[in-house]
Chains A and B, each alone.
Chain A
Amino acid sequence: DTEVTQTPKHLVMGMTNKKSLKCEQHMGHRAMYWYKQKAKKPPELMFVYSYEKLSINESVPSRFSPECPNSSLLNLHLHALQPEDSALYLCASSPTETLQNEQFFGPGTRLTVL
């Protein structure tokens, strides 16, 4: 299985809601990533987890809270988001963080904040 899956595919939420994005991979990868991609822009790194520990946080606002419950799962908890947070949220994984490796991307969750 060489796939990264993300749920849900689409999410619409109000500014007072709490929701979570989920990402799963079964390739045995030990590095997992969250990216944010606005329309017609490149992916921007948000968080990196290495061996289930947070290793990079790109100064992301605290209304985004990542969680890595085990080596196959990555969550992104959302609370009190703003309309400008509307974007495609991409999850990726790679064998490890410390070697130069291809990142495998999921299809993303398209988030709309009203």
Chain B
Amino acid sequence: GENVEQHPSTLSVQEGDSAVIKCTYSDSASNYFPWYKQELGKGPQLIIDIRSNVGEKKDQRIAVTLNKTAKHFSLHITETQPEDSAVYFCAASIATGGFKTIFGAGTRLFVKA
């Protein structure tokens, strides 16, 4: 089945610096790659997503890149702010008689003021 690996597990940056989180997936049939942010006591919230027919997508300070050949996708956050501190999950969706979303292990991001 699909497996999603995510690195690093913890990331600490200074406010204003950039943060990069990387994921790899195993099943070439995966074609939808969402990124979720989970704050303490809340459910995950989508921050950006990318489909397999697109190589890059940007939304203000957040960007995602996808390399289908290498089965890699990455999240880039620029000009980080303390409120960006949270757990970030990458995910890959695959159709197996219905769409399943498989999550990476998560990255705990700390932004120091």
Point out residues on A near B: beta carbons under 8 Å: 4, 40-45, 48, 50, 55-56, 90, 92, 97-100, 102-108
Contact = CB atoms under 8 A, between A and B. Distances in A.
Nearest to B43: A105
A102 B104 contact: no
B32 A100 contact: yes
Interface residues of B, number: 24
Contacts of A48: 98, 100
Given A41-B106, A42-B89, A42-B106, A103 B100 contact: no
9 contacts: A42-B105, A48-B98, A50-B98, A56-B100, A103-B101, A104-B46, A105-B36, A106-B43, A107-B42
Interface in B28-59: 31-32, 34, 36, 41-46, 49, 51
Contacts of A42: 89, 103-106
Contacts, number: 55
Interface of B: 31-32, 34, 36, 41-46, 49, 51, 89, 93, 97-106
B27 to A, nearest CB: 14
A99 B41 CA distance: 29
A88 to B, nearest CB: 9
Given A43-B103, A100-B93, A105 B98 contact: no
B44 A56 contact: no
Contacts of B93: 100
A102 B43 contact: no
A92 to B, nearest CB: 7
Contacts of A99: 99
Contacts of B41: 107
B97 A45 contact: no
A50 B36 CA distance: 22
B34 A45 contact: no
A92 B42 CA distance: 12
